[in-house]
Amino acid sequence: MCKIETEISRVTRSKVEAKASYNMMSKWYDMLAGFAEKKCRNTGLKKLSAKEGEIVLDIGFGTGHSILALAQSVGNSGKVYGIDISEGMCKIAQSNVRKAELSDRVELKCGDAAKPHFEANFFDAVFMSFTLELFDTPEIPIVLHECQRVLRNGGRICIVAISKKGKANLMMRLYEWIHAKLPKYVDCRPIFVRESLEDAGFQIVEVAKMSMVRLPVEIVVAQHVLPE
């Protein structure tokens, strides 16, 4: 087995349990985790650099902060699609989109990103912030291959995620211990972000390292390039 498979802890809760958990916390998510994630998420959005007229997919959009930012970036001639497993998150994000008067350029869907049902070669860019690490280890390559399928040749992807890379500090060891004890509630676990993208066949463009409450975060931008 490869390093990614042997060193990343497994996700033991079911999709039904995950959906129920995020439905329950959707009204409080921004207070619980939104502020901590904001700086890393915004850095990822800046590095993805969505442009006027582009069609962009946001996977695991939560309460919709990245959806709103992307919709502003793509302008009237672009479109932003989003997929999230939680109906509660979808309702809040949809409400935020309406309040921002951006409904004409945003389409949100409640569903599983491992089976997104979007057309092939449809998107110019894909964004994922603190979402890929929620999928069980065998599902990570499935999700990334789906991203490849829906991206146009030359399309780019930006993933913001808690990183397993390097030596774990005290906070990381504590966090992983809590994850092991309470996997239904502390569900994000560190993953090998760059390596996962490389294994899926993406070409790495840029890697940035940040910290979120002393947890290491990787922001990786990669490109989907078909072989000639």
Domain ranges of the chain: 3-223
Distance CA 120, CA 141 (A): 17
Give the closest residue to 3 by CA, choosing from 203, 194, 202.
194
Q: How far is CA 82 from CA 86, 141, 161, 167, 174, in A?
A: 12, 20, 18, 34, 33
What six digits make up the tokens of 47?
A: 């590095």
Neighbours of 10 (CB within 10 A): 11
Q: pLDDT below 50 — which residues of the chain?
A: 1-2, 5-6
- Is the Cβ–Cβ distance between 118 and 57 less than 8 Å? yes
Element (H, E) at 202: none
- Residue 127: the pLDDT is 98
3-state secondary structure of 208: strand
pTM, full prediction: 0.92
Q: Strand 79-84 to strand 106-110: parallel, antiparallel, or no bridges (unpaired)?
A: parallel
pLDDT at 1: 38
What's 76's DSSP letter?
Answer: T
CATH code for the domain defined by 3-223: 3.40.50.150
Count Cβ neighbours within 10 Å for each residue of 91-127 and write b for 16 or more, e otherwise: bbbbebbeeeebeebbebebebbeebebeeeebbbbb
pLDDT at 32: 64
pLDDT score for 41: 96
pLDDT at 185: 67
